Amino acid sequence: LVSLSVGPGVGQEVQTENVTVAEGGVAEITCRLHQYDGSIVVIQNPSRQTLFFNGTRALKDERFQLEEFSPRRVRIRLSDARLEDEGGYFCQLYTEDTHHQIATLTVLVAPENPVVEVREQAVEGGEVELSCLVPRSRPAAVLRWYRDRKELKGVSSGQENGKVWSVASTVRFRVDRKDDGGIVICEAQNQALPSGHSKQTQYVLDVQYSPTARIHASQAVVREGDTLVLTCAVTGNPRPNQIRWNRGNESLPERAEAVGETLTLPGLVSADNGTYTCEASNKHGHARALYVLVVYDPGAVVEAQTSVPYAIVGGILALLVFLIICVLVGMVWCSVRQKGSYLTHEASGLDEQGEAREAFLNGSDGHKRKEEFFI
Ligand SMILES: *[C@@H]1O[C@H](CO)[C@@H](O)[C@H](O)[C@H]1NC(C)=O
Ligand SMILES: *[C@@H]1O[C@H](CO)[C@@H](O)[C@H](O)[C@H]1NC(C)=O
Ligand SMILES: *[C@@H]1O[C@H](CO)[C@@H](O)[C@H](O)[C@H]1NC(C)=O
Ligand SMILES: *[C@@H]1O[C@H](CO)[C@@H](O)[C@H](O)[C@H]1NC(C)=O
């Protein structure tokens, strides 16, 4: 700031610039010299301790290195910048008047990856509350939430601890079973990060829900002597840890072997007929699936069993075909009718009533075009 030296004969000056660095980064402080004539240049730290005296190290801190000392500039380099390095660095030029200029070093703190936590276990139909915390940043980091690339509205709060900020944000939303495994992102940003960069943490939603169960059979038609494997596909969070197989209110055949999700029924006989069920439960509910087993004679001619989905698909197809036929019939009928009426009008026009007739009558007055609109 002081550069008013109009000393005897010489216009020596020193100039410098403010510097901003991210914590842990490298800062360069440059003292620009003008018309340097060999005077002593001193660089001091914010506590006014001399770092370099005309190019010679004075303070024992290896993080400061003299990079350049030329008649044009003195450049020092500070590596591993810390918050306590902040402040004004003095570039002093000892001529007859001392000139100095201060380079203010600002140390920013980039946020670390945020810590995302859930307040309590989410259950389907309820709400989940997530919190995102960045304990150190400077300036205070801005926290944002995203889910499926859409931003969620969070509530942020900050607290200053000395030179750094601790910031937190919470977000709440309703969850369903389909949200289990979904990803929510908390993003932290401030000027200490390169532009366009941010620190993100992904949180995988854990939504508990009641179980479901479905039975798949290894084959559609079962004859005596066959081996049938039934598989019970269960879902649920927490996952039901046990699957119970039953047959109506009778006991399972003795040959039946139930291992986890599968029930194996070897060497089937007709006495194995029955309604087989698998059941699973967790703390949120209970699910049961049924399978009706019919064991046919080995020689029996069995019509291919149509399972329910096929019946539905068949029904829909039949309906579609029916609709298409209706539309076609309708179109044909309409076009035939139009032509017929048109001709009728041309021919007589007397067997029609109302507007159509008037149209015809008017039409004969030279407004022939109208006819077609009323037919
Ligand atoms: C450098 O920083 C100081 C302190 O923040 C400020 O007063 C001064 O105006 C800044 N100088 C420049 C050139 O930005
Ligand atoms: C200060 O250092 C510069 C560069 O090494 C040198 O030219 C100059 O003579 C020194 N000045 C004094 C007074 O020692
Ligand atoms: C099985 O239970 C049904 C009702 O669920 C009952 O009508 C039937 O009598 C029971 N069969 C036997 C063998 O207990
Ligand atoms: C099992 O079902 C088949 C087919 O309906 C039938 O022919 C057979 O008699 C049944 N057996 C028993 C024991 O119910």
Domain finish residue from 187, 205, 223: 205
d(CA 205, CA 27): 42
Report the pocket of ligand 2 as residue ranges, CB < 6 Å.
38, 40, 54-55, 69
- Same domain? 248 vs 289: yes
Residues 32 and 119 in one domain: no
Domain boundary among 70, 85, 108: 108
Residues 224 and 142 reside in one and the same domain: no
Indicate whether 258 belongs to any domain: yes
**52 and 135 inside one domain:** no
The structural domain count of the chain equals 3
Residue 134 maps to a domain: yes
Residue 187 lies in a domain: yes
Q: How far is the CA of 288 from the centre of ligand 3 (A)?
A: 18
Distance from residue 38's CA to the centre of ligand 2 (Å): 5
Indicate whether 25 and 94 sit together in one domain: yes
Q: How far is the CA of 267 from the centre of ligand 3 (A)?
A: 25
Q: How far apart are CA 252 and CA 246, in angstroms?
A: 6
Name the DSSP letter for residue 179. G
Say if residue 259 is in the same domain as residue 281: yes
Residue from 223, 2, 199, 165 nearest 92 by CA: 2
| Summary mean pLDDT of the chain | 86
Is residue 64 within 8 Å of 77, Cβ to Cβ? Answer: yes
Write out the residue range of the structural domain in which residue 137 sits: 115-205
In angstroms, the CA 30 to CA 138 distance is 24
- Phi, psi dihedral angles at 357 (to 5 degrees): -70, -45
Distance CA 114, CA 336 (A): 74
- Per-residue pLDDT at 233 exceeds 70: yes
Q: Dihedral sign for Cα 366, 368, 369, 371, please.
A: positive
> CA–CA distance from 54 to each of 7, 15, 39, 47, 91 (Å)?
20, 16, 8, 18, 11
| Interval 266-317: pLDDT, tens | 999 999 999 999 999 999 999 999 999 999 988 777 665 555 566 676 777 8
Residue bearing the CA closest to ligand 1, atom 4 = 104
Q: What CATH number did the domain enclosing 180 receive?
A: 2.60.40.10
Mean pLDDT of 337-341: 51
**Amino acid sitting at position 141:** A
Q: What's the pLDDT at 356?
A: 42
Span between the terminal Cα atoms of the chain, in Å: 95
Q: Which ligand has the minimum distance to the alpha carbon of residue 15? A: 1
Structural contact between residues 99 and 114, judged by C-beta atoms closer than 8 angstroms:
no
- pLDDT at residue number 343: 42
Mean pLDDT to the nearest integer, 257-273:
93
Strand order across the 115-118 sheet: 115-118, 127-137, 164-174, 155-161
Residue 375's closest CA among 346, 326, 332? 346
Of 205, 228, 262, at which residue does a domain stop? 205
**Quick check: is 311 in a domain?**
no
Measure 133 CA to ligand 1 centroid, in angstroms. Answer: 32
State whether 285 and 234 are in the same domain: yes
275, part of any domain: yes
